[in-house]
Amino acid sequence: MSEKKVSKTRRNLLKGVAAAGLVSVITAKREDLMKILEPYPKEGEEGAFGGVEYLEINGEEYAIAKWNPYRVPGNPEQSVENLKELAKKKEEDAKRRCKQSAEEICKRLGEDRPECKLARKHCEEIVVKWTLAKKGIRWAMALDLNKCIGCRRCAYACVQENNVDRTQGIEWIKVVNLTRDELELLNSDIEYTSGPYKDRVYIPVACNQCEYPPCIMVCPVRATWQEPDGIVIVDSYRCIGCRYCITACPYGARHLNWKPVSVDALTLNPNMHEFGNVPREVHTVEKCTWCIQRTRNGGTTACVEICPVGARVFGNFWDEEGPIQRIIKEYGAFVLKPSAGTKPRFFYYFGPARTPPLDAENPHSSDWLGGGKKEEGKKGGEA
């Protein structure tokens, strides 16, 4: 008897729970359910991971990430001053290191050489900016894999623009060469010397500037955070070189300076940002910042500018009339490792036209790809 009663009550309870669930699913708003699924702000409400604080400077609205360690909560003026002070410190440091290098050059080559004068002039030109992110902007990049020829010009430009150490083999952009019929990483090659070929795809891989960056979540000292415009940056003054973030990144976008970073006054880029291409300290992590020193002031990145075939596109993700939305709507796009759940903002797509490869029979003809296929089709039609 008791057993039957228990089973009955249990069944009734289960029924009640099921009914309650059904009622809640029917009555709940779709938006609320979507919020549970996607806790990150939706379109229009831009923001960094951890939240954003807005402030106004000269009538224009800017944003500071709440995870920014230089932010003073509730006191935007003070946080701006902190950032200014940091930029000043970093400028002094960069100038000091540049002057050391310039004096070495002058000693080696002699005082009268033009190189010596040029190096000294470069050191004086160094400006470290502290530009904040504008409100309503979320940067994104798209890359046409049909146009990309894997010429590595972006990798070279990146090294020069961002003052990356030349002696340690660090490159923020790596071009991976895959087979075209299946994008299998096992058959990849990054040491190729000739190309492009008909049956290969060239995928330049850099930081994907994810919406949920796993690298910033593991940082024990909060040396890396996401800016309100989506750029994940590293502050080399705070970084302790524990390399947790290198392990956490699924794309291999972060690199450690194992040696003191060599600063060459002749090839140093004087246009700097305090969280971007300012010369890094030893044993700190560095990564792609989408040329924060250019894009914050309204320019495009160095890789976009140098691309000889125009494969790269850079713009505001929320902009309905902008290039990124146009590409996603017109051609569709995919991201690397979607299963990692990081929501990258670096989109890859196969565009409408392809740059003719080296092994094309007649590269000046538009139908170099379908030359063989056309004949086959004709034969099939006759039969």
Partner 1 sequence: MEHECVPGDLMRKLAFLVILALSTFVMAQAYTPAYPCTLCHADMKNLNGNVKIVDIHKVDLLKGAHQGLYCSNCHDVNNPMKLKNGAIVVPKKLATKQDLMSYNTLCAQCHPRTYDDYIHLAHGNKTFVCPQGKTILIIGYKGSPYWFHQCPDYNGHFERKPARACVECHDPHDPVKLPNSIMPPPSDRPKPYPQPMIEKTTIILMALAAAVSIFAYFKP
Q: Where are the alpha helices (DSSP H) in 153-236?
A: 153-161, 214-217
From the list 161, 235, 274, 286, which residue makes contact with partner 1 (rule: CB under 8 A)?
161
**Residue whose CB is less far from partner 1, 78 or 297:** 297
Cβ atoms 314, 137 nearer than 8 A: no
Measure the CA–CA gap between 160 and 269, rounded to whole angstroms: 7
Measure the CA–CA gap between 228 and 26, rounded to whole angstroms: 36
Query: With binding defined as CB under 8 A, does residue 252 bind partner 1?
Result: no
- Longest Cα–Cα distance of the chain, Å, equals 108
Cβ atoms 350, 145 nearer than 8 A: yes
Host H or E run for residue 219? none
Residues 290-349, interacting with partner 1 (CB under 8 A):
294, 297-300, 304-306, 308-310, 312-315, 321-323, 326-327, 330
Query: With binding defined as CB under 8 A, does residue 159 bind partner 1?
Result: yes
Binding mask 169-208 for partner 1 (x = CB under 8 A): x-x------------------xxxxxxx------------
Q: 168: Cβ–Cβ under 8 A, 6 or more apart, which residues?
A: 257, 258, 259
From the list 1, 25, 37, 353, which residue makes contact with partner 1 (rule: CB under 8 A)?
353
Minimum CB separation from partner 1 for residue 330, in Å? 7
**Residue whose CB is less far from partner 1, 306 or 340:** 306
From the list 270, 283, 340, 343, which residue makes contact with partner 1 (rule: CB under 8 A)?
270
Minimum CB separation from partner 1 for residue 372, in Å? 18
Got the DSSP string for 275-326?
A: TTTSPPPTT-EE---S-HHHHTTT---HHHHH-TT--EEEEETT-TTSHHHH
Number of residues that bind partner 1 (CB under 8 A): 62
Query: With binding defined as CB under 8 A, does residue 61 bind partner 1?
Result: no
Angle between helices 76-109 and 114-125 (to 10 degrees): 170
Question: Which region among 32-40, 106-114, 238-246, 266-274 touches partner 1 (by CB under 8 A)?
Answer: 266-274
Q: 130: Cβ–Cβ under 8 A, 6 or more apart, which residues?
A: 83, 84, 86, 87, 273, 274
Q: What is the dihedral of CA 356, 359, 364, 370, to 10 degrees?
A: -80
- Given the structure tokens 């009550």, which residue do they identify? 9
From the list 39, 44, 73, 352, which residue makes contact with partner 1 (rule: CB under 8 A)?
352
From the list 167, 182, 186, 383, which residue makes contact with partner 1 (rule: CB under 8 A)?
167
Minimum CB separation from partner 1 for residue 216, in Å? 27
Question: Which region among 79-87, 204-212, 242-250, 356-364 touches partner 1 (by CB under 8 A)?
Answer: 356-364
From the list 156, 212, 237, 244, which residue makes contact with partner 1 (rule: CB under 8 A)?
156
**Residue whose CB is less far from partner 1, 160 or 188:** 160
Cβ atoms 229, 209 nearer than 8 A: no
From the list 47, 81, 135, 168, which residue makes contact with partner 1 (rule: CB under 8 A)?
168
From the list 125, 361, 375, 376, which residue makes contact with partner 1 (rule: CB under 8 A)?
125
Cβ atoms 236, 90 nearer than 8 A: no
Q: Distances from the Cα of 71 to the Cαs of 63, 147, 211, 217, 275, in angstroms? A: 11, 42, 21, 18, 14
Minimum CB separation from partner 1 for residue 265, in Å? 11
Question: Which region among 179-187, 211-219, 238-246, 261-269 touches partner 1 (by CB under 8 A)?
Answer: 261-269
- Given the structure tokens 């224009």, which residue do they identify? 60
Measure the CA–CA gap between 26 and 116, rounded to whole angstroms: 75
DSSP label at residue 186:
G
Minimum CB separation from partner 1 for residue 219, in Å? 25
Minimum CB separation from partner 1 for residue 258, in Å? 9
Site residues (vs partner 1, CB under 8 A): 125, 142, 149-153, 155-157, 159-161, 166-169, 171, 190-196, 266-267, 269-271, 294, 297-300, 304-306, 308-310, 312-315, 321-323, 326-327, 330, 352-353, 355-358, 362-366
